[in-house]
Every structure is written in C-alpha cells, then in structure tokens.
A = this chain, B = another copy of it.
Amino acid sequence: MIQLPQPLKSLILNFSKLNGVGERTALRYVLQILQWDKSDQLEFAKNLSALKDVRNCQKCGVLSDLDCCPICADQTRVDHGVICVVEGISDLIAIEKSGQFSGTYHILGGVLNPLAGIGPDKLRVKELIERIRDKHVQELVLAINPSVEGEATCSYLKDLLPDFVSMKRIGFGVPIGGNLEFLDPLTIMKAFENKSNL
C-alpha cells in the first residue's frame, strides 16, 4: 500500500471517526480539501479549533454563544409556559423549521438506555425538574422520537414530574407523502389508534 504523507494519514483517521464515513470516503474528503485554497484550509482548521469555546444555554441546553440562547431570551415567543422536551439539537432544529411551536425547549441529551449505561444522571433531567420548580410551567410536550428507549424515557418523566404540569406526547401516524403500502405495521397501528373525526 502506498505511503501517504503523515498529515494526510492522520486527517483520514480524523474523518473516519465520523459516523457514516469510512476510510475511502475520508480519503475522498481529504483529497478534495487538498484542492482547496490554502486560506480555505486554514479557515476550516480555525473553525474547528473554535468549537472548544461553544457553550450551552444554561436554561434549555442548546448550543449557544451566550449563556442564554436566542430562543429562551426571545420575549416575543408566546408560550413561555410550554416546554418542548427533545433528545438533541437536530430535533429542535427540525421543529423550529416547521414553525409549529412557540414555547421554549429543553434538550434532554439523549434517551434512557440502561444497556448503553445511559441512566437519568447522564441526561438533563435534573435541570428539567429545576426549570419546572422555578418557573410557571404549565405544559410539557415530549417530542422524543418513537423507540423502545424513547417510550421508556417518556414513562420515566411522567412518573417523576409533578402532577400540576400537563404532559403531552407528539402525535404518531402516517407521515405526509407516506404510502400505507410501504409503512411498517407499528406506524399503521398508531395511525389507527390516533384516528380523528372528519
């Protein structure tokens, strides 16, 4: 096998650490970056080094430049009494894109998974309880993805949190553009459970 220069070999290793990137894809990325301007390469490196300074919003836990993220600080959002609990920031971004929610968020940082050693102490559960205690929170919307671990996490939160907070779960069923023919039986079961009047 050909001996690549050391920085290339290390960079291929760095890229292959990303999920979904194998050694061949990593090599392809590195060869592409080699074609870039030197200034673009250095800017890429500089942005990577800057990641170490990225903080989390002290309220919701989202990545932010400031101690309080723009969403938590935004007084024009109507429903500051409603908290939408999500697993991670990608889910938050997807919900914000839909424009369907005007409350604040709480990033849980994952779901309970005892087999992988993820207990309540690894998630931002304590922070959620504190937020409910401190503030006038009326409603929690659990926008946690449907999976065995997701459902377990929802049940856990339901048992843990005080009764005066109303807890809701997002709706499940056939996605728009979906086709019954290609959907799994569980989704179809959920769609029938959640049927509504026309």
Contacts and interface: CB of A to CB of B under 8 A. Distances in A.
A10 B65 CA distance: 13
Interface string A38-52: 101111111111111
Nearest to A89: B31
A104 to B, nearest CB: 12
A8 interface: yes
A15 B51 CA distance: 14
Interface residues of A, number: 55
Interface in A148-189: none
Contacts of A71: 2
10 contacts: A2-B70, A2-B93, A7-B51, A8-B51, A8-B63, A10-B50, A17-B36, A28-B90, A31-B90, A45-B46
